[in-house]
């Protein structure tokens, strides 16, 4: 049996009686009064198109991304349970929302201005750009593409944004494609399977170190706004979402979330990214099981550990720095002793110990620091020590910045090398620029690994599916 309940904002949400509640009621005899049923929590049903900045699995294994953080915040404020299903492409997402399979669709969609009633207000601006395979001659404008094929993803708002261009350049072969993400389309261009494509500039930034053989040709038009598509008949929900997004823009929430997931490609040259991808193909198999064993023991995601190890030693188990740190994870002698490591050059022992240490650093951070900032803070402490990290958080607070956001604390850390600031720091001088660069490069390596390496080995994935 299903009933319809209204939340305090007036939009209708379906809820149901669970099997467990029904069985509990049957456990009472006919003459015994059953306890009152708990009120059902209203549900917000969302269809999501995953993407590398909008909705993805973060370093702690939980969902992360701009759309995720915004919708989770909205649902928490309204007392709604967030129920998520995933679409394979934008076309199926939009059709699913139009049929009423969900109240809302999200995930890197550009607002369709012509269908404004079914879209929320925009929450983040992006330009559009034409990309090309870097082995080709770079086109300067649309006229250079006469006779060429230009692809774009269907039902994402890009086709509507290109209406005038399409009409003005009939000699171009326009190719709408059903691909899961801009990242996939960029990959097609980088691999040479598609000549040219139009994609959002924000997605280009996130893909630069993953797909190495593409580049930007020219801007494809004025900025457009990312937004969410709302099911027909959900005007009250749309208005409530619009009010939430307006407030988030006014109070800085949107800017803080966007900064949290800003592409970190600028911290890693494309040449370095190419070398790293070569090392993945040549060397990662040797250490994969060690990193996965460390994840099983510590809870630290194996691809993050692989990124740390590459930053520390380029996966060289015999690496020794001029400062005396050694091994795959570049442990100091004191840290190794504290973790019970007898031989820092034993890659398995060093990796398991480093994973325990990183997990301990995460536990020692204040509980209210959320992911993914919690992981970035732990990495900074791994590099510079918890004491100096806390000094930077205190300094950030004095600077009217948020001490619980990595994007703010990373501004304070380099100041610990300035006597004007470190004289008042509890732990004194620190080369605070080092952990900022350390975390930035690990994030870049981790981003590449997230999109090139499966979360679990295929056999383990299959076994888990049977449970």
Tens of pLDDT, residue by residue over 255-299, are 888 888 875 545 577 778 999 999 999 999 999 999 999 999 999
Checking if the pLDDT of 390 tops 50, the result is: yes
pLDDT of residue 20: 40
Location of structure tokens 């994402």: 156
Residue 183 neighbours by CB under 8 Å, 6+ apart: 51, 52, 203, 206, 207, 210, 211, 451
pLDDT of residue 27: 40
- Give the helix ranges, DSSP H, for 208-262: 235-250, 253-260
pLDDT of residue 231: 95
Per residue in 11-36, pLDDT (tens digit) is 333 333 333 433 343 343 444 555 56
pLDDT of residue 461: 42
Q: What does DSSP say about strands 124-133 and 214-230: parallel, antiparallel, or unpaired?
A: antiparallel
pLDDT of residue 16: 36
Average pLDDT in the 356-382 region?
95
pLDDT of residue 143: 95
Quick one: what percent of the chain has pLDDT higher than 90? 67
Average pLDDT in the 292-316 region?
96
Checking if the pLDDT of 159 tops 80, the result is: yes
Q: How far is CA 359 from CA 62, 352, 444, 448, in A?
A: 16, 11, 20, 22
Checking if the pLDDT of 75 tops 90, the result is: yes
- Give the helix ranges, DSSP H, for 111-154: none
- Known catalytic residues? 312
Residues 93, 105 contacting (CB under 8 angstroms): yes
pLDDT of residue 11: 34
CA–CA separation, 345 vs 246, rounded Å?
Answer: 54
Query: Of the ranges 12-16, 34-38, 112-116, 201-205, which is most confident?
Result: 201-205
How many Å separate Cα 222 from the centre of its chain?
Answer: 26
CA–CA separation, 215 vs 207, rounded Å?
Answer: 10
Q: What is the CA radius of gyration of the chain?
A: 25
pLDDT of residue 57: 84
pLDDT of residue 326: 87
pLDDT of residue 39: 58
How many Å separate Cα 18 from the centre of its chain?
Answer: 33
Task: Read off the pTM.
Answer: 0.75
pLDDT of residue 38: 54
Q: How far is CA 458 from CA 449, 455, 463, in A?
A: 16, 9, 9
Residues 53, 257 contacting (CB under 8 angstroms): no
CA–CA separation, 354 vs 339, rounded Å?
Answer: 8
Closest CA to 150 of 159, 90, 230: 159
Average pLDDT in the 397-409 region?
95
Per residue in 223-258, pLDDT (tens digit) is 999 999 999 999 999 999 999 999 999 998 998 888
Q: For residue 351, how many other CB atoms are within 10 A of its CB?
A: 27
Per residue in 411-454, pLDDT (tens digit) is 999 999 999 999 999 999 999 999 999 999 999 999 999 988 88
Residues 98, 133 contacting (CB under 8 angstroms): no
Average pLDDT of the chain, as a whole number: 86
Q: Which of 5-14, 27-36, 316-325, 449-458 has the lowest mean pLDDT?
A: 5-14
pLDDT of residue 34: 52
DSSP string, 399-450: TT--TT-HHHHHHHGGGGGSHHHHTTSTT----THHHHHHHHHHHHHHHHHH
Q: Which of 36-40, 70-74, 446-450 has the lowest mean pLDDT?
A: 36-40
Domains of the chain: 2-118 (3.40.190), 125-225 (3.40.190.10), 270-461 (1.10.530.10)
pLDDT of residue 267: 57
Residue 274 neighbours by CB under 8 Å, 6+ apart: 212
pLDDT of residue 278: 94
pLDDT of residue 19: 34
Closest CA to 118 of 157, 85, 83, 163: 157
């Amino acid at each position: 049996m299903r009933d319809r309940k209204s939340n305090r904002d007036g939009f209708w949400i379906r809820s149901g009686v669970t099997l467990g509640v029904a069985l509990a009621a049957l456990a009472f005899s006919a003459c015994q009064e059953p306890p009152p049923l708990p009120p059902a929590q209203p549900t917000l049903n969302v269809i999501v198109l995953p993407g590398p900045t909008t909705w993805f699995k973060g370093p702690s294994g939980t969902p992360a991304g701009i759309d995720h953080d915004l919708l989770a915040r909205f649902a928490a404020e309204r007392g709604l349970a967030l129920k998520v299903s995933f679409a394979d492409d934008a076309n199926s997402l939009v059709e699913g929302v139009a049929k009423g399979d969900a109240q809302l669709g999200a995930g890197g969609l550009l607002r369709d201005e012509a269908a404004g009633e079914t879209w929320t207000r925009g929450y983040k601006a992006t330009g559009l750009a034409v990309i090309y395979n870097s082995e080709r001659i770079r086109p300067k404008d649309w006229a250079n593409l006469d006779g060429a094929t230009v692809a774009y993803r269907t039902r994402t708002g890009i086709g509507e944004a290109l209406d005038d261009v399409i009409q003005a350049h009939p000699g171009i072969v326009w190719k709408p494609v059903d691909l899961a993400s801009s990242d996939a389309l960029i990959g097609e261009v980088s691999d040479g399977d598609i000549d040219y494509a139009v994609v959002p500039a924000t997605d280009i930034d996130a893909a630069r170190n993953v797909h190495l053989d593409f580049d930007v040709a020219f801007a494809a038009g004025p900025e457009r706004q990312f937004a969410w598509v709302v099911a027909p008949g959900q005007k009250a929900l749309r208005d409530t979402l619009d009010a939430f997004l307006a407030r988030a823009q006014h109070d800085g929430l949107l800017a803080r979330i966007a900064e949290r997931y800003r592409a970190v490609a600028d911290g890693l040259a494309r040449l370095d990214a190419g070398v790293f991808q070569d090392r993945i193909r040549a060397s990662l198999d040797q250490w994969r099981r060690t990193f996965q064993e460390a994840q099983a023991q510590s809870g630290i995601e194996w691809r993050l550990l692989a990124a740390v190890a590459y930053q520390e030693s380029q996966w060289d188990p015999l690496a020794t720095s001029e400062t005396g740190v050694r091994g795959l994870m570049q442990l100091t002698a004191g840290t190794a002793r504290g973790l019970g490591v007898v031989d820092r050059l034993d890659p398995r022992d060093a990796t398991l110990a480093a994973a325990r240490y990183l997990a301990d650093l995460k536990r020692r951070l204040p509980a209210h620091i959320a992911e993914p900032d919690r992981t970035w803070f732990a990495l900074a402490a791994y590099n510079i020590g918890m004491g100096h990290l806390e000094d930077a958080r205190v300094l950030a607070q004095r600077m009217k910045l948020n001490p619980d956001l990595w994007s703010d604390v990373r501004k304070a850390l380099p100041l610990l090398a300035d006597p004007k600031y470190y004289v008042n720091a509890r732990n004194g001088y620190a080369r605070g620029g080092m952990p900022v660069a350390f975390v930035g490069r690990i994030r870049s390596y981790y981003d590449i690994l997230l999109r090139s390496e499966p979360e679990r080995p295929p056999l383990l994935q299959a076994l888990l599916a049977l449970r």
